[in-house]
Amino acid sequence: MSFLAEYLKHPFTIGAVAPSSKYLAKKMLRNVTFNQARVIIEYGLGTGVFTEEIIKRKKPETVFLIIENNPVFYKKLKEKYESECNVKIELGSAEDVEKYMEKWKIKRADYVISGLPFASLPKSVSKAILTATGKILDANGYFITFQYTLFKKKIFENYFKIKDISLEWVNLPPAFVLTMKNN
Ligand SMILES: C[S@@+](CC[C@H](N)C(=O)[O-])C[C@H]1O[C@@H](n2cnc3c(N)ncnc32)[C@H](O)[C@@H]1O
């Protein structure tokens, strides 16, 4: 499975020429309290850099729902992770997160970890995903995403309160991690 090959086929939905680094994965997850999390949701797993770290650190009873819309990434990662405890992997769009939560009887998310390329997704798709995320996030929950620039910061501010922005240099390209709460 080549990340670059998928990027060349779907540049706007993949949105990056290489997977994120382990350093970015660590930074994305540094505010996650794994021993208290009941539900973690990941959007856009790609080759699974964040997924791997979440599965390593989550408690067995924590439900981990993953939504990926690229069939190549989905198939590969489903084979790898479907036997893990309480891990549910869906092929589809993060726009439909509520539908998947209903399917698995999940009420609220403590953490939504997003690898989605909001800068290159159609505006209507970004808006639908952010609206749905606001609805499913617990009052004390966090929405965590990364961006290569802060040009689109405003779109997040329309839906969430940004609690923290932190730059990870060891990534190609360097990326900002945005940690947000519901407004
Ligand atoms: C920049 S890659 C990030 C992959 C991985 N999280 C990482 O950081 O290396 C974006 C991922 O989001 C997926 N994606 C794009 N639009 C999506 C959508 N609407 N719903 C779910 N996944 C989506 C792409 O297929 C791709 O796997």
Query: Which domains does the chain carry?
Result: 3-14+21-144+154-161 (3.40.50.150)
Parallel/antiparallel/unpaired status of strands 137-147 and 63-68: unpaired
The alpha carbon of 35 and the centre of ligand 1 are apart by a number of angstroms equal to 26
Q: Report pTM.
A: 0.96
pLDDT in tens, 32-53: 999 999 999 999 999 999 999 9
Q: pLDDT category, 4, cuts 50, 70, 90?
A: confident
The alpha carbon of 91 and the centre of ligand 1 are apart by a number of angstroms equal to 11
The alpha carbon of 16 and the centre of ligand 1 are apart by a number of angstroms equal to 9
The alpha carbon of 46 and the centre of ligand 1 are apart by a number of angstroms equal to 5
- Mean pLDDT for 73-85 is 93
What is the per-residue pLDDT for 83?
92
Q: pLDDT category, 1, cuts 50, 70, 90?
A: low
CA–CA distances in Å: residue 73 to residues 1, 51, 86, 132: 8, 12, 20, 23
| Ligand 1 pocket, residues with Cβ under 6 angstroms | 13-16, 19-20, 43-46, 49-50, 67-70, 73, 93-95, 115-117, 121, 125
Name the amino acid, one letter, at 183: N
CB-CB contact of 96 with 71 (8 Å): no
Q: pLDDT category, 16, cuts 50, 70, 90?
A: confident
Contacts of 105 (CB under 8 A, 6+ apart): none
Q: pLDDT category, 13, cuts 50, 70, 90?
A: confident
What is the per-residue pLDDT for 17?
78
**Which residue lies with its CA nearest to atom 27 of ligand 1?**
46
What is the per-residue pLDDT for 45?
93
Ligand 1 atom closest to residue 73's alpha carbon, by position in its atom list: 27
- Token representation of residue 35: 């021993």
Residue 117 has pLDDT above 70, yes or no: yes
Q: pLDDT category, 133, cuts 50, 70, 90?
A: very high
pLDDT in tens, 148-160: 999 889 999 999 9
